[in-house]
Amino acid sequence: MSEIDALKLQLESLQSEALAAFSAADSLNDLQALRVSYLGKKGALTEVLKGVGKLPPEDRPVIGKFVNQTKQALAAALDATEAELAVKAKSARIESEKVDVSLPGRSGPKGALHPVQQGLDELTAIFVQMGFDVAEGPEIEDEFHNFDALNIPPEHPARAMHDTFFIKDMRNADGTEPMLLRTHTSPVQIRAMKRFLAEGGEPPLAVVAPGRVYRCDYDVTHSPMFHQVEVFKVDHDVSLSHLKGVLQYFLSAYFEKDVAIRLRPHYFPFTEPSAEVDIGCVFCAGKGCRICKGSGWIEVLGSGMIHPNVLKSVGIDAGEFSGFAFGLGVERMVMLKQGIPDLRLFFENDVRFLSRMGVAK
Ligand code: DAH
Do residues 157 and 277 both lie within one domain?
A: yes
- Cβ of residue 327 lying under 6 Å from some atom of ligand 1: yes
Q: Is the domain of 39 the same as that of 123?
A: no
Atom of ligand 1 nearest to the CA of 228: 4
Q: How far is the centre of ligand 1, averaged over its atoms, from the C-alpha of 43 (Å)?
A: 101
| Same-domain check for residues 237 and 323 | yes
Give the pLDDT confidence score for residue 158 in this predicted structure.
76
**How large is the average pLDDT for residues 175-184?**
93
Does ligand 1 lie within 6 Å of residue 137's CB atom? no
Tell me how far the alpha carbon of residue 215 lies from the centroid of ligand 1, in angstroms. Answer: 14
Ligand 1 contact via 326 beta carbon (within 6 Å):
yes
Residue 267 clears pLDDT 50, i.e. is over it: yes
User: Beta strand 205-214 with 133-134: parallel, antiparallel or unpaired?
Assistant: parallel
Using an 8 Å Cβ cutoff, are 14 and 34 in contact?
A: no
Residues of the domain holding 299? 112-360
Is residue 8 in a domain? Answer: yes
Residue 359, pLDDT score:
58
* Statement to judge: residues 74 and 9 lie in one domain: yes
Q: Do 324 and 233 form a contact (C-beta atoms < 8 A)?
A: yes
Cα-to-centroid distance, 78 and ligand 1 (Å): 93
Bridge partners for 231 per DSSP:
208, 326
Q: Select from 50, 68, 96 the last residue of a domain.
A: 96
Q: What is the CATH number of the domain that holds 209?
A: 3.30.930.10
Residue nearest to atom 3 of ligand 1 (CA): 184
Calculate how far, in angstroms, residue 303's C-alpha sits from the geometric centre of ligand 1: 6
DSSP state of 118: H
Angle, CA of 98, 100 and 106, to the nearest 5°: 120
Q: Considering the chain, what percentage of its residues have pLDDT values greater than 90? A: 65
CA distance 196 to 205: 8
Using the Cα atoms of residue 124, residue 125, residue 126 and residue 131 in order, give the sign of their dihedral: positive
Q: In this structure, are 30 and 173 located in the same domain?
A: no
Asked whether residue 267 falls in the same domain as residue 218, the answer is yes
115-129 and 240-255 helices, crossing angle to 10°: 130
> What letter would DSSP give residue 139?
S
Query: What is the per-residue pLDDT across 94-133, written as a single tens digit (0 to 9) for each?
Result: 999 998 999 998 888 778 889 999 999 999 999 999 999 9
Residue 351 sits at φ, ψ, to 5 deg, of -60, -30
> Looking at 96, 120, 138, which one is the last position of a domain?
96
332 lines ligand 1 (CB under 6 A): no
102 falls within a domain: no
- Does the CA dihedral 164-167-169-173 come out positive or negative? negative
Give the residue among 233, 159, 154, 165 at the shortest CA–CA distance from 193. Answer: 233
288 and 158 in one domain? Answer: yes
In angstroms, the CA 162 to CA 183 distance is 6
Say yes or no: 56 and 200 in one domain.
Answer: no
Please, which residues bridge with residue 225 across strands?
214
Check whether 191 has a pLDDT greater than 90: yes
Ligand 1 centroid, distance to 55 Cα (angstroms) = 120
- Greater confidence (149 vs 49) lies with 149
* Nearest protein CA to atom 7 of ligand 1, as residue: 302
User: Residue 213: what are its φ and ψ, rounded to 5°?
Assistant: -135, 165
Q: How many domains does the chain have?
A: 2
- The alpha carbon of 354 and the centre of ligand 1 are apart by a number of angstroms equal to 29
pLDDT of res. 272: 98
pLDDT-based confidence at residue 323 (cuts at 50, 70, 90): very high
* Cβ count near 338 (within 10 Å): 13
pLDDT value, residue 360: 53
Q: What is the pLDDT of residue 156?
A: 85
